[in-house]
Structure formats: structure tokens, C-alpha cells
Amino acid sequence: MTPSQIALVQESFAKVAPISDHAATIFYGRLFEIAPQVRAMFPDDLTEQRKKLMATLAVVVNGLSNLPAILPAASALAKRHVNYNAKPEHYPVVGAALLWTLEKGLGEAWTPEVADAWTAAYGTLSSFMIAEAYGNAQAAE
């Protein structure tokens, strides 16, 4: 990721943060719409899950300018997700739901440059997490 992409991700996330619970609700609605099979991996009451999602996103987004500092936490998170039956093929679906949510939440502020920056950020992090949880062969697929 370039420094300008990092800045775009951080600036755009700052616009979403004030509506974090609403954004998380939109995200999970979209995720379960495009991948209904993952619904069983989550609790019926998503209140805490929504808070965890947005808190994790905040840590990651704020840490993008010092990626090595957040990688240990990302590795631990990836390994925990294996216990929840997350598979490598779930990562692109989650990414699609996240990007869709950001597009809806940001409206006109969702520019092609912001989309590219978020795609790069998610791709970087998800590839790392897949490699940490499942090995490098899975990350390459």
C-alpha cells in the first residue's frame, strides 16, 4: 500500500466511525445476503459482534501506517477464526461485503481512489491472515 492509499483508508474510515453500529449492521446484513451459509458461524444476537468488528477495523485502519505493529494481532485473529470454521474462501466474501458497506456508507465520498485503497488494504491484510491461518499455499489461491 502506498502512503496516499493509507491516508485515504484512514480518512474514509473516520467518516464511517460515527455510524459504526449502523455500518456493522449493514455489513452483516450484506454478508448474510451474499453468503447465507456463514450465518451459522455467528451468534443470534450480533450486538457484541458488531462492536468487535468495528473495534478491530479501527485498530487495523489506524495501524496501517505501521503495519508490522498490527500483524501479530492479525495473525492471532486469523488463527482464532479457524476455530470458528472460517475458511480461506470466506475472506473474499467478507471483503466484498465490507467494500459494499463502505460504498453505501460513504456515498459520494466513495471514489475510485478510495475503492482502490480499501481493496489494497483488505487484500494485504486478508492474504496475510490466510497465510498465517492456513499456510502460504492457500493465500496464493
Q: Say if pTM beats, i.e. exceeds, 0.75.
A: yes
* Helices (H) then strands (E): counts for the chain: 7, 0
Burial 75-112 (b: 16+ CB within 10 A, else e): eebbeebeeeebebebbebbbebbbbbbeebbeeebee
- In tens, the pLDDT along 17-47 reads 999 999 999 999 999 999 999 999 999 999 9
CATH of residue 17's domain is 1.10.490.10
Domain count, the chain: 1
The tens digit of pLDDT for each residue in 111-134 reads 999 999 999 999 999 999 999 999
Domain that holds residue 72: 3-140
